């Protein structure tokens, strides 16, 4: 059976792809993910998740979230992708926990607006109780922090967007 984290990852993957519908069945339980797109202004929904009961399961279908992407949102996404194409992405070199500061009461290593050099430490990724300092590897200005303090990150996941000098 899929756990909630697996379902969230499926939602992200489906949302970022051109797939309109995804069905999964295991041990009599079905999961259906479907994108519904309407062109109404101001309506925002997520893909629908339904757990469809089989003959032996007495669960009722549940809808977790709905998201309808408007034309405006599509235009904004395309504009952001074009705008971000010239930005350098600092990515996680490993799976671990992202920390923005050396301790909870310390200021963050790197925040939006900070000028950085290639050897500037921008965060820590903890993996197996080892604290790994992540350096910028580029000279520029941090324009966006893409993860939250304490968040689990994956290998290659984008952490920061930097406007190179």
Is residue 42 over pLDDT 80? no
Give the H or E element holding residue 149. none
Q: Report how far residue 13's alpha carbon sits from residue 15's, in angstroms, rounded to the nearest whole number.
A: 5
pLDDT of residue 80: 47
Q: Which domains does the chain have, with CATH numbers?
A: 4-73 (no CATH), 87-164 (2.40.50.100)
pLDDT band at 110 (very low <50, low <70, confident <90, very high): confident
Q: Give me 98's structure tokens.
A: 């992202």
For 51-100, give the DSSP string.
EE--TT--PPP---------HHHHHHHHHHHHHHTTSEEEE-SSSEEEES
What three-state secondary structure class fits 14? helix
pLDDT of residue 64: 52
* Percentage with pLDDT > 90 across the chain: 38
Average pLDDT over residues 91-100: 93
Rounding to the nearest 10 degrees, give the CA dihedral for residues 136, 139, 143, 144.
Answer: -10
Per-residue pLDDT of 47-73, as tens digits, reads 555 555 554 444 555 555 555 566 656
Q: Report how far residue 149's alpha carbon sits from residue 84's, in angstroms, rounded to the nearest whole number.
A: 22
pLDDT of residue 63: 53
Q: Report how far residue 79's alpha carbon sits from residue 105's, in angstroms, rounded to the nearest whole number.
A: 37
Q: Which of 87, 99, 78 minimizes the C-alpha distance to 150?
A: 99
127 contacts 94 by C-beta, under 8 angstroms: yes
pLDDT of residue 77: 53
Say what the pTM is.
0.49
pLDDT band at 85 (very low <50, low <70, confident <90, very high): low
Q: Which of 76, 142, 148 minimizes the C-alpha distance to 112?
A: 142
pLDDT of residue 124: 93
pLDDT of residue 43: 47
pLDDT of residue 81: 47
């Amino acid at each position: 059976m899929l756990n909630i984290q697996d379902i969230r990852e499926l939602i992200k993957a489906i949302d970022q792809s051109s797939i309109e519908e995804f069905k999964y069945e295991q041990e009599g339980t079905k999961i259906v993910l479907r994108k519904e797109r309407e062109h109404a202004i101001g309506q925002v929904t997520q893909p629908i998740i339904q757990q469809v009961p089989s003959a032996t399961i007495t669960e009722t279908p549940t809808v977790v979230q709905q998201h309808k992407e408007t034309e405006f949102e599509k235009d904004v996404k395309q504009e952001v992708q074009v705008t971000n194409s010239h930005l350098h992405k600092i990515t996680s070199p490993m799976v671990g926990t992202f920390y923005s500061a050396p301790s909870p009461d310390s200021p963050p290593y790197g925040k939006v607006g900070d000028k950085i050099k290639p050897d500037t430490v921008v965060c820590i990724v903890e993996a197996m109780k080892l604290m790994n300092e992540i350096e910028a590897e580029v000279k520029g200005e941090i324009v966006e922090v893409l993860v939250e303090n304490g968040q689990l990150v994956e290998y290659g996941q984008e952490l920061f967007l930097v406007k190179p000098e």
